[in-house]
Amino acid sequence: MKPSSPSLSRRSFTLAAASTVLAACTTAVTETAKVAPPVSETTAPPPIARPARPVRVGLALGGGAARGFAHIGVIKALEARNIHVDVVSGTSAGSVVAALYASGMNGFALNKLALQMDEASISDWAMPFSTRGFLHGVALQNYLNTTLRNRPIEKMAKPLGIVATDLHSGEAILFQRGNTGTAVRASCSLPSIFEPVKIGGHEYVDGGLVSPVPASFARKMGADFVIAVDISARPETAATVSQFDVLMQTFTIMGQSIKNYELEKYADLVIRPALNAMSGSDFGQRNAAILAGEEAVARMMPELERKLAAVHASFA
């Protein structure tokens, strides 16, 4: 048998080595493929699931003296329909109800408190009569602080904002910290009826002068959806049976443009209880006012549910 030529042997060895290298490469590629399959540059990574943020509902309660009892009916009706309020702002009479509600009281507790309230317990005549107001307002301040056990605004169960007007600058101020009774007293200090309230070197009067229904402040406090409650009388239907009613009518007329602008721009829903027959000085009709608030919510409920559902969908 002839020995194979050296060149043939080298060629065979080269082919065998090449086959071994190719086999090894193929195995390596196959094993790598099992661990990390290639991804096309055009393939997007899977989206990261983010939980939907809950919609924050704000309740803005407007001014209107004794007509403010209607706010309690609104709260009762919203709770009965499982509408949860996250933040609450109030002006004048609305600030009284807002403070009590923000403290953790539900609609029924507010209703009970309203029926037990003695008008004399929140009235303190300035004797001798002051040239700046007939009432001091201290009685109202003490009533709130006693009822709330001196809880400051920032310690409430719900975020609370109380609107007043700086007497000298004419600017609105939103109280979100400090003595609750004092802030409410400032918000309710109707000029020429209540004496201005001095806080931190500034004097404050009724918040209704600059924000009759504080929808913009509920929005400022973080509300995504604002329910505004307007209890002011329409000028053409308002009862003017007393000097107080005439003064209220004057402020209603002055605040019409401000109120309409604020509600149109910042409120998602406006609830207007039917209170045309009720005077702002008539504390004897508190039951009728509460019922009017409940009925107003019932009328607006289809629209409220539709608008809230749309907002919830946009947050999903």
Residues known to be catalytic: 92, 206
CA–CA separation, 213 and 263 (whole Å): 7
Give the closest residue to 214 by CA, choosing from 248, 253, 157, 175. 175
141 and 182 in contact (C-beta within 8 Å)? yes
- The phi and psi torsions of 117 (rounded to 5 degrees) equal -65, 130
Contact of 176 with 164, CB cutoff 8 Å: no
- Strands (DSSP E) along 46-152, which ranges? 57-61, 87-91, 125-130, 133-135
For 214, the token pair is: 């504080």
Torsion over CA: 159, 165, 166, 171 (sign): positive
Pair of tokens at residue 40? 């096309």
Return the closest-CA partner of residue 89 out of 47, 52, 116, 59: 59
Residues listed for the chain: 316
| Nearest by Cα to 151 from 176, 185, 174, 178 | 178
| Residue type for position 179 | N
Helix axes 93-102, 70-80, angle to 10 degrees: 40
Report H helices in the chain.
6-35, 70-80, 93-102, 107-116, 138-147, 180-187, 215-220, 243-266, 286-315
SS3 assignment, position 160: strand
The rounded distance, in Å, linking the Cα atoms of 110 and 75 is 9
Report d(CA 92, CA 309) in Å as an integer: 31
